[in-house]
């Protein structure tokens, strides 16, 4: 699975398990709600740094393993 897709899925799962809505995430990240929409969209090429920042809100880190 591509790294960006894995990060987006992990972020979505973290939001669900914490009961956080997209608008809540936007507020916590101090970004517009439409940016959160793009951040979670599998069709949009988000910057990995944005996803790392969002995941950090849930005490999650993005780790890449090359084999």
Taking residues 2-22, report their average pLDDT: 95
**Per-residue pLDDT at 65:** 86
Question: What is the per-residue pLDDT across 13-43, written as a single tens digit (0 to 9) for each?
Answer: 999 999 999 999 999 999 999 999 999 999 9
Which positions ≥6 away from 31 have C-beta within 8 Å?
Answer: none
Question: What is the per-residue pLDDT across 38-65, written as a single tens digit (0 to 9) for each?
Answer: 999 999 999 999 999 999 999 999 998 8
**Per-residue pLDDT at 1:** 86
């Amino acid at each position: 699975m591509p790294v960006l897709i894995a990060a987006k899925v992990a972020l979505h799962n973290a939001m669900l398990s914490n009961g956080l809505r997209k608008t809540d995430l936007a507020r916590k990240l101090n970004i517009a709600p439409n940016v959160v929409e793009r951040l979670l969209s599998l069709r949009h090429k988000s910057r990995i740094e944005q996803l790392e920042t969002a995941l950090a809100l849930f005490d999650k880190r993005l780790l890449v393993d090359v084999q």
